């Protein structure tokens, strides 16, 4: 795990290129404090800050020379051993034991398509000295970041905004459309757009090639919706899911440093820890949990302890941030985030990563991704009910609807709301649904943003899950997962995002993911029943990473955020925003999440622009 920065510049002298690249690297030194190196030749400069995870020798430092290639790389290729063995059979020899050299050999053997053979997370840049070509790639799900700026025939790229902001004459013009999406939709990124007009985001599963002064971007992988649904029996489906998930845990556990796990007590993190403990029963495993006590707080320790009590090799650690911890750490969390803090849960995640690092761990396994492709979010039901009705499965729709209301204990008002939104899903495509959501706060903005996603399949549920995964919710979660872990030079791995597992999940029927009893993530729950604690297996509530931030913290240790200079929010209708903030100050917390996001956008603009 590392931080990378590089560029192609046609005017700077070599010594100036090196100086500039070290300046970029210094801004993200937290991503890899164990070595910082720069390589320059001609128009190219490549640099890397290294965090040693696999092959701890200095010989594996980057930029890494392989034949006529120079490589910088952020991430992990989990199946590097298998790929290396395949390459050895083809006559390749290796001088290191890590994955970077495997990337070089794979590129020499298979060219740009080499990334389709990798299982992992990555942001890669390879300078091909013979072809005078820069090849860059980002992993299938966007777990590792890759941002870039183009100026005439020059190209600059890095792992974080803060590195690119070191460039001379950096254009700090804000992308007001993305700010609106952030405040309304809580998105950190939208397609290739970022919070700055000048900075672009290389999208998941895309390659970028620079050659002869021209840039080309192409997609190298996607979910294939043309394939028919799996015809396996339910028992075979469960076995296949368990096998794929177990294999993913094995791959994600590979490292030469100490691993640990995040453990919230929910189904996803408990699944990871339970399988990890089952696979390695003699390996001490440190787990890390954040909790809160008091009124309106969520304390998941009873479920965490169910996992800990079932597996004796787990060594649990807990932490609850005090008000003083929140006040003291807020600025640092906001600095590392690169974007406004779009929810208070990201502060909890920061403390979780801090706890892991304080206990000597360098790699943690975390549960991001499962909700997005296994139907874990309750708004998946709108699309499921609409899909059942569109296929004339009326009895199935009624049964699922009734069980959903009963399971969640919804009242009459909420029941009507679900029916209305399901009806909207029946007659509106995903774009219209997203834009309706975005328009709810239109009055607060002087200009109005828009959202446009491709309809990938006629199945409403799969289409919805696809965009959760690649375009909306998950991309934001991964953004903060990366920033909060790397703030402590900690590598966070997400084993649910193994593309073989995801491909299999999309081959399943909707009923395999959400059954008629309104149980979400059904295939995950049933596949792992034999290893999950009974109390966790039987959990049907959906908590998320709940914190008391938008009310308790914003009225307490973070009250200073409400001192807003509305002139600095020039893209918003100041009088309307001020009225909403004043209502909040006077005790009306019904719109607390919106006030939080506005306050955090203001703080970000004041302090980091």
Looking at the annotation, which residues are catalytic? Answer: 2
Per-residue tokens: 584: 């909040």
CA dist 119 and 590 (Å) reads 44
Alpha carbon distance 494, 243 (integer Å): 17
User: Residue for token digits 């029916």?
Assistant: 419
The gap from C-alpha 147 to its chain's centroid, in whole angstroms, comes to 15
The closest alpha carbon to 340, from 488, 548, 493, 561, belongs to 561
**449's tokens:** 């943003």
Q: Is 100 helix (H, G, I), strand (E, B) or coil?
A: helix
d(CA 281, CA 283): 6
How far, rounded to the nearest angstrom, does the alpha carbon of residue 330 sit from its chain's CA centroid?
21
Is there a contact between 380 and 460 (Cβ–Cβ < 8 Å)? no
Could you give the strand order of the β-sheet that contains 154-158, starting from the edge strand earlier in sequence?
A: 35-41, 44-50, 2-8, 154-158, 147-151, 200-201
- 406: its two tokens: 């009963």
**DSSP string across 33-92:** BTEEEEEEETTEEEEEEE---SS-SGGG-SSEEETTEEEEEEEEETTHHHHHHHHHHTT-
Asked if residues 453 and 467 have their Cβ atoms less than 8 Å apart, the reply is: yes
Contact 607, 334 (CB under 8 A): yes
């Amino acid at each position: 795990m590392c931080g990378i920065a590089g560029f192609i510049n046609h005017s700077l002298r070599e010594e100036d290129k090196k100086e500039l690249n070290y300046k970029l690297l210094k801004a993200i030194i937290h991503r890899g404090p164990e070595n910082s190196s720069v390589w320059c030749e001609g128009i190219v400069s490549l640099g890397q800050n290294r965090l040693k995870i696999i092959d701890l020798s200095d010989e594996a430092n980057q930029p890494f020379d392989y034949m006529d290639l120079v490589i910088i790389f952020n991430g992990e290729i989990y199946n590097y051993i298998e790929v290396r063995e395949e390459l050895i059979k083809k006559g390749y020899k290796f001088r290191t034991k890590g994955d970077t050299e495997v990337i070089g050999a794979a590129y020499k053997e298979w060219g740009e398509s080499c990334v389709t053979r990798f299982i992992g997370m990555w942001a890669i840049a390879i300078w091909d000295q013979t072809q005078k070509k820069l090849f860059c790639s980002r992993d299938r799900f966007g777990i590792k970041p890759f941002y870039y700026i183009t100026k005439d025939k020059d190209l600059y790229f890095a792992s974080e905004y803060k590195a690119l902001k070191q460039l001379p004459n950096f254009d700090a013009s804000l992308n007001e459309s993305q700010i609106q999406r952030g405040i309304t939709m809580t998105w950190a990124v939208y397609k290739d757009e970022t919070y700055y007009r000048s900075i672009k985001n290389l999208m998941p599963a895309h390659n970028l090639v620079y050659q002869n002064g021209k840039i080309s971007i192409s997609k190298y992988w996607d979910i294939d919706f043309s394939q028919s649904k799996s015809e396996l029996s339910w028992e075979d489906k469960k076995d296949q899911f368990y096998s794929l998930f177990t294999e993913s845990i094995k791959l994600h556990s590979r490292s030469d440093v100490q691993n640990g796990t995040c453990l919230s007590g929910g189904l996803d993190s408990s699944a990871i820890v339970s399988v990890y403990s089952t696979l390695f029963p003699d390996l001490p495993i440190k787990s890390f949990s954040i909790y809160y006590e008091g009124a309106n707080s969520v304390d998941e320790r009873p479920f965490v302890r169910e996992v800990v009590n079932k597996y004796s090799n787990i060594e649990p650690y807990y932490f609850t941030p005090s008000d003083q911890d929140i006040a003291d750490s807020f600025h640092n969390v906001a600095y590392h985030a690169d974007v406004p803090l779009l929810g208070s849960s990201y502060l909890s995640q920061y403390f979780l990563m801090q706890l892991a690092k304080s206990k000597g761990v360098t790699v943690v396994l975390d549960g991001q991704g499962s909700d997005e492709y296994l139907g874990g979010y309750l708004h998946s039901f709108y699309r499921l009910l609409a899909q059942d009705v569109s296929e004339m499965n009326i009895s199935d729709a009624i049964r699922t609807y009734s069980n959903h209301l009963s399971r969640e204990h919804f009242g009459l008002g909420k029941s009507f709301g679900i029916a209305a939104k399901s009806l909207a899903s029946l007659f509106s495509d995903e774009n219209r649904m997203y834009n309706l959501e975005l328009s709810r706060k239109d009055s607060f903005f002087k200009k109005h943003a828009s959202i446009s996603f491709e309809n990938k399949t006629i199945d409403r549920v799969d289409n919805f899950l696809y965009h959760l995964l690649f375009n909306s919710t998950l991309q934001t979660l991964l953004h903060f997962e990366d920033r909060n872990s790397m703030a402590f030079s900690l590598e966070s791995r997400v084993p649910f995002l193994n593309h073989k597992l995801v491909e299999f999940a999309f081959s399943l029927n909707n009923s395999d993911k959400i059954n008629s009893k309104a149980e979400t993530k059904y295939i995950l729950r049933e596949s792992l029943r034999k290893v999950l604690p009974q109390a966790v297996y039987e959990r049907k509530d959906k908590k998320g990473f709940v914190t008391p931030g938008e009310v308790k913290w914003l009225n307490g240790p973070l009250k200073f955020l409400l001192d807003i200079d509305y002139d600095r929010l020039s893209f918003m209708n100041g009088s309307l925003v001020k009225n909403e903030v004043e209502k909040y100050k006077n005790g009306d917390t019904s719109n607390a999440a919106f006030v939080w996001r506005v306050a955090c956008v203001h703080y970000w603009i004041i302090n980091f622009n």
